[in-house]
């Protein structure tokens, strides 16, 4: 280098496009969903909508779509289905999966308002909320496929943040079980 004040020359390489959807393994999603009593679903929807915003440049609010997920579940599934079709995969009829998720989420929320200390209704509410993971698994598998990482291996390991959520979930489950035994 003759000129010490000259900026170094480097070959510029374009960064790879980000995934249009949140990629994660279904095993990791299941563990976090159950450990957090389904609270992970808020983060899961947020990450999908953030990936959509980043990939498409659309003007949307991921946190609002996550918070009001029952109103945006069908549109997320539609975006995944459109990406799959565009990339040459077989078409995905997402409407039943999205509808089952929305109906179960609403049912668990409404039922939770009427438990009035009934252990049986509390357990039913928790069961509906936790079993709602099955439509989420279907959505995640299709999102992973649309991103070219069918098994979600790029996000299969548990991070330190995941471990903190698992620890908080363990405390939460312990308190719930203690509460059920006290009734």
- CA dist list (Å): 126 to 29, 92, 120, 148: 17, 29, 10, 34
Residue range 151-177, pLDDT digits in tens: 999 999 999 999 999 999 899 888 877
Instruction: Identify whether 76 is part of a domain.
Output: yes
Instruction: Identify whether 181 is part of a domain.
Output: no
pLDDT at 103: 94
d(CA 37, CA 112): 13
130 pLDDT higher than 80: no
Instruction: Identify whether 178 is part of a domain.
Output: no
Instruction: Identify whether 175 is part of a domain.
Output: no
- Predicted structure pTM score: 0.83
94 pLDDT higher than 80: yes
Instruction: Identify whether 46 is part of a domain.
Output: yes
Residue range 63-87, pLDDT digits in tens: 999 999 999 999 999 999 999 999 9
Q: Which of 22, 46, 35 is nearest to 140 (CA)?
A: 22
Instruction: Identify whether 52 is part of a domain.
Output: yes
Segments forming the whole domain that contains residue 146: 26-151+158-170
Instruction: Report the number of distinct structural domains present in the chain.
Output: 1
Instruction: Identify whether 117 is part of a domain.
Output: yes
Instruction: Identify whether 144 is part of a domain.
Output: yes
Residue range 30-52, pLDDT digits in tens: 999 989 888 899 999 999 999 99
d(CA 5, CA 48): 45
125 pLDDT higher than 70: yes
% of the chain surpassing 70 pLDDT: 93
């Amino acid at each position: 280098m003759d000129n010490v004040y000259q900026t170094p020359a480097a070959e510029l390489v374009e960064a790879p496009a980000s995934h249009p959807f949140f990629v994660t393994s279904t095993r990791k999603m299941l563990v976090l969903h159950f450990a957090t009593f389904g609270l992970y679903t808020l983060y899961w929807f947020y990450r999908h909508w953030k990936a959509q915003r980043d990939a498409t440049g659309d003007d949307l609010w991921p946190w609002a779509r996550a918070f009001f997920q029952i109103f945006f579940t069908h549109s997320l599934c539609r975006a995944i289905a459109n990406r799959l079709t565009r990339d040459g995969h077989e078409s995905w009829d997402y409407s039943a999966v999205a509808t089952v998720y929305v109906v179960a989420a609403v049912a668990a929320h409404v039922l939770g308002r009427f438990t009035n200390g009934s252990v049986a209704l509390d357990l039913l509410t928790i069961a509906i909320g936790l079993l709602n993971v099955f439509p989420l698994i279907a959505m995640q598998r299709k999102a992973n496929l649309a991103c070219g990482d069918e098994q979600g291996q790029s996000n299969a390991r548990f991070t330190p943040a995941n471990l903190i959520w698992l620890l908080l979930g363990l405390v939460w489950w312990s308190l719930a079980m203690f509460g059920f035994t006290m009734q």
